[in-house]
Copies of this chain bind each other. A is one copy, B any other.
Amino acid sequence: MTKTPPLPKLSEREGAAWVGFLRAHDLVTQRLDAELRASNDLALSEFEILLHLARAGGEKRMAQIAHDVVLTGGGVTRIVARLEKLGYLTRRSCPKDGRGIFAVLTNAGWAKHRAAHAVHVEGVKRLFLRDTKQDELAVLSAFFDRMVARTRAKEQGPDNACALDEPTKKREAKSTHATRG
Contact = CB atoms under 8 A, between A and B. Distances in A.
Interface in A123-138: 124-125, 127-132, 134, 136-138
A3 to B, nearest CB: 15
Interface residues of A, number: 52
A24 interface: yes
Interface stretch (A86-94, A95-103, A141-149): A141-149
A167 interface: no
A122 B20 contact: no
Question: Copy number of this protein in the oligomer?
Answer: 2
Interface string A9-22: 11001101110111
Contact of A147 (B24, B147, B150): B24
A22 B29 CA distance: 9
Contacts of A124: 10, 14, 18
A56 interface: no
Interface of A is mostly: helix
A70 B25 CA distance: 10
A8 B128 contact: no
Interface in A18-46: 18, 20-31
Given A13-B138, A141-B17, A151 B22 contact: no
A150 B128 CA distance: 9
Contact of A13 (B14, B21, B137, B147): B137
7 contacts: A6-B122, A13-B141, A14-B137, A17-B129, A18-B129, A20-B141, A127-B147
